[in-house]
Amino acid sequence: MNHFGRLFQINIFGESHGKSVGILIDGVNPGIPLCEEDFSNDLLRRKSGGIGTTPRIEDDKIIIESGVFNGFTTGAPILLRFENNNTKSKDYSNLVSQPRPSHADYTAKLKYNGFNDYRGGGHFSGRLTLGLVSAGVIAKKILKDFKFNTKLINLNGEEDSSKFKNMLMDAVSEKDSLGGIISIRVDNVLKGLGEPYFDSLESTISHLLFSVGGVKGVEFGIGFDGVNLKGSSFNDVIIDHEGHTKTNNNGGINGGISNGNPIELKVFIKPTPSIGKSQETYNFKEEKVSELVINGRHDAAIILRAMVVCEACVAIALCDSYLINKAYRED
Q: How far is the CB of 54 from a copy of itself (least distance, A)?
A: 19
Q: Of the listed pieces 46-54, 87-95, 241-249, 304-312, which binds a copy of itself according to CB under 8 A?
A: 241-249
DSSP 8-state symbol, 207: H
Q: Is 123 in the site for a copy of itself (CB under 8 A)?
A: yes
Q: Is 134 in the site for a copy of itself (CB under 8 A)?
A: no
Choose which of 180, 308, 309, 314 interacts with a copy of itself (CB under 8 A): 180
Q: Is 59 in the site for a copy of itself (CB under 8 A)?
A: no
Alpha-carbon span 281 to 104, nearest angstrom:
14
Give the count of residues interacting with a copy of itself (CB under 8 A): 149
Q: Is 261 in the site for a copy of itself (CB under 8 A)?
A: no
* Residue 102 CB neighbour total at 10 angstroms: 16
Q: Is 55 in the site for a copy of itself (CB under 8 A)?
A: no
Which residue number, 19 or 44, has a Cβ lying nearer to a copy of itself?
19
Q: Check: CB of residue 190 under 8 Å from CB of residue 257.
A: no
Which residue number, 53 or 154, has a Cβ lying nearer to a copy of itself?
154
Residues 263-282 within binding reach of a copy of itself (CB under 8 A): 266, 268, 270-275, 277, 279-282
Choose which of 106, 146, 148, 164 interacts with a copy of itself (CB under 8 A): 106
Phi, psi of 141, deg, nearest 5: -65, -40
* Residue 225 CB neighbour total at 10 angstroms: 11
Residues 291-310 within binding reach of a copy of itself (CB under 8 A): none
Alpha-carbon span 143 to 159, nearest angstrom:
31
Q: Is 69 in the site for a copy of itself (CB under 8 A)?
A: yes
Give me the count of residues in the chain.
331
* Residue 206 CB neighbour total at 10 angstroms: 21
Which residue number, 79 or 308, has a Cβ lying nearer to a copy of itself?
79
Which residue number, 44 or 276, has a Cβ lying nearer to a copy of itself?
276
150: exposed, middle or buried (C-beta count within 10 Å: 0-12, 13-18, 19+)?
buried
Q: Is 285 in the site for a copy of itself (CB under 8 A)?
A: no
At 86, the amino acid letter reads: N
Which residue number, 41 or 188, has a Cβ lying nearer to a copy of itself?
188
Choose which of 39, 124, 146, 148 interacts with a copy of itself (CB under 8 A): 124
74: exposed, middle or buried (C-beta count within 10 Å: 0-12, 13-18, 19+)?
middle
**Helical residues (DSSP H) of 11-118, grouped into ranges:** 40-48, 94-97, 105-111
Which residue number, 3 or 61, has a Cβ lying nearer to a copy of itself?
3
Which residue number, 137 or 178, has a Cβ lying nearer to a copy of itself?
178
DSSP 8-state symbol, 245: B
